[in-house]
Amino acid sequence: MQGQEQQRILQTLKQGLETQTSADAGEMLQVPMDGYTDPAQLALEQAVFFKQTPLMLGLSSDLPGINTYVATNETGVPILMTRDASGCFRAFLNVCRHRGMQVVATGRGEGRQFSCPFHAWTYQNTGDLIAVTHEDKFGSLDHRDFGLTELPSAEISGTLWVQSSVGEPLDPSGLLGPLADEFLHWGLAQHPFRETQVIEADINWKLAIDTFGENYHFNVLHRTSLATDIIGNLQTHDIFDRHYRMVFAGKAGFEQVLAAAMPIENWPYRQLTLNIYFLFPNVIFVVDPAGIDVLRMYPADNAPGRSRTHHSYYPHPDLADTITESRFPGFNKVIVDEDYWAATRIQRNAEASVQPYGLFGRNEPALHHYHRVHGDALGLPALTVLPPN
Ligand code: FES
Ligand SMILES: [Fe+2]
């Protein structure tokens, strides 16, 4: 994020703190609870979001050098992402052209060639089929016709995008859209990949996203955890087409700079803020002083009430050597034990069909945005604005 924008955000947070105000959506919205439970809506979401929409599957540092790869089935389709010997990023269906076996085991590593574990057909990391075992006995093939099936993919500003279905090449400028420059300034490629976890939860995948969508709940649900570090009921609000950004203020840091009467131009932006992005349709992207967390939410088990959150952590480049402990126990104490704990109870009540609507308040503008862009993309009726009384 560029300096001028940082100044504007810090100023907004400072003012909000002084006046006890926060971003205001100007209206309240009704959210139909069956959006979290309806199998027909889930089927539509799976088709539109998880098959036909480019998804951010990682950062450039997930493929840190030439001839590296990541194999993942998280979208519901087996995907192999590679960086070839020239540094070029590509994505393929991780499916052997012989009998359909998964070629590369799920995980990450280095490899210029991949040999299928069933009959050892071998592919280059460019997707080219380079060897058919006993081809003289199998039958002669034109290898050019039997490479791994390439998926639309693109790398932009340190992020990796893949569409899970075959289609037209992606236009990289349409992926991060107006956030492309800002992401470049975060220096994502310099944040090394550290660790990854999958959180399985009995909640709809959108409830997993919702939990990151406001800090109205910090002083209640997180009063003994996150609220000791982050100021509740205070956020910025910026829309970037279908994406979104909100910034929270760190408690200790803000107290220090304010007590020192430090001019705002000298405030250390990264040290003072928690930056939360929603990247359409399913990513929560968090930048804080310790690094970057990428959380990719997916429906699971074809059940509206089940989801998987794929979480990867990339430490700040200056801290990569000093941070040695896993980030996940501390993170999960808040996100799993508190946020997803609450979301599980919301899901259970939604499934009981006892209350048709929830509400998004004026002070929860990110939730207005996510649910509107999701609904628009699916062709759902517009959410109802609650008339002011
Ligand atoms: S299925 Fe891959 S080599 Fe036979
Ligand atoms: Fe929370």
The residue whose CA is least distant from atom 4 of ligand 1 is 119
- The answer to whether the peptide bond before residue 281 is cis (omega within 30 degrees of 0) is yes
Tallying the residues shown for the chain, one arrives at 389
| 116 within ligand 1 shell (Cβ under 6 A) | yes
C-alpha 108 – ligand 1 centre gap (Å): 21
Reading the block at residue 167, the tokens are: 């289609």
DSSP 8-state secondary structure symbol assigned to residue 236: -
* Rounded Cα–Cα distance for residues 68 and 108 (Å): 8
28-55 CB burial, b ≥16 within 10 A, e <16: bbebbbebbbbeebbeebbeebbbebbb
Burial class (CB in 10 A: 0-12, 13-18, 19+), 17: middle
C-alpha 370 – ligand 2 centre gap (Å): 16
Domains of the chain (ranges; CATH) run 3-52+178-386 (3.90.380.10), 55-174 (2.102.10.10)
Specify the amino acid at residue 282: N
List of residues 6+ apart from 138 with CB closer than 8 A? 132
Atom of ligand 1 nearest to the CA of 96: 2
Atom of ligand 1 nearest to the CA of 121: 3
Specify the amino acid at residue 295: L
Nearest-ligand number for the alpha carbon of 146: 1
Paired residues of 278 in beta bridges? 244, 284
| 345 within ligand 1 shell (Cβ under 6 A) | no
| 98 within ligand 1 shell (Cβ under 6 A) | yes
Question: Probe ligand 1: pick from 80, 94, 95, 96, max atoms within 8 Å of CB?
Answer: 96
φ, ψ (nearest 5 deg) of residue 21: -125, 165
List of residues 6+ apart from 111 with CB closer than 8 A? 67, 68, 69, 104, 125
- Helix and strand counts by DSSP (H, E) for the chain: 11, 21
Look at residue 271 in the predicted model and tell me its pLDDT: 96
DSSP assignment string, 94-123: -B-TTT--B-S-SEEEE-SEEE-TTT--EE
Claim: this prediction has a pTM higher than 0.75: yes
Reading the block at residue 346, the tokens are: 């919301």
| 170 within ligand 1 shell (Cβ under 6 A) | no
| 97 within ligand 1 shell (Cβ under 6 A) | no
Question: Probe ligand 1: pick from 95, 116, 129, 148, max atoms within 8 Å of CB?
Answer: 116
* Rounded Cα–Cα distance for residues 31 and 229 (Å): 30
pLDDT digits (tens, 9 = 90+) for 310-348: 999 999 999 999 999 999 999 999 999 999 999 999 999
Look at residue 211 in the predicted model and tell me its pLDDT: 97
List of residues 6+ apart from 184 with CB closer than 8 A? 157, 158
Count of other CB atoms within 10 angstroms of residue 128: 14
Task: Name the one residue in this structure whose structure tokens are 């280095």.
Answer: 110
Look at residue 2 in the predicted model and tell me its pLDDT: 85
| 380 within ligand 1 shell (Cβ under 6 A) | no
C-alpha 99 – ligand 1 centre gap (Å): 5
Reading the block at residue 297, the tokens are: 């939410």
What stretches in the chain show pLDDT beneath 70?
A: 388
* Rounded Cα–Cα distance for residues 374 and 364 (Å): 16
Atom of ligand 1 nearest to the CA of 120: 3
β-pairing, 28-32 with 55-59? unpaired
Atom of ligand 1 nearest to the CA of 119: 3
Angle at 244 between CA 243 and CA 248, to 5 degrees: 155
C-alpha 57 – ligand 1 centre gap (Å): 26
C-alpha 335 – ligand 2 centre gap (Å): 6
Strand, coil or helix: 76: coil
List of residues 6+ apart from 183 with CB closer than 8 A? 156, 157, 158, 159, 176
Atom of ligand 1 nearest to the CA of 100: 1
SS3 of the chain: helix, strand, coil, percent, to 5: 30, 30, 40
First-to-final CA distance of the chain:
40
Q: Tell me which H or E stretch contains 348.
A: helix 341-351
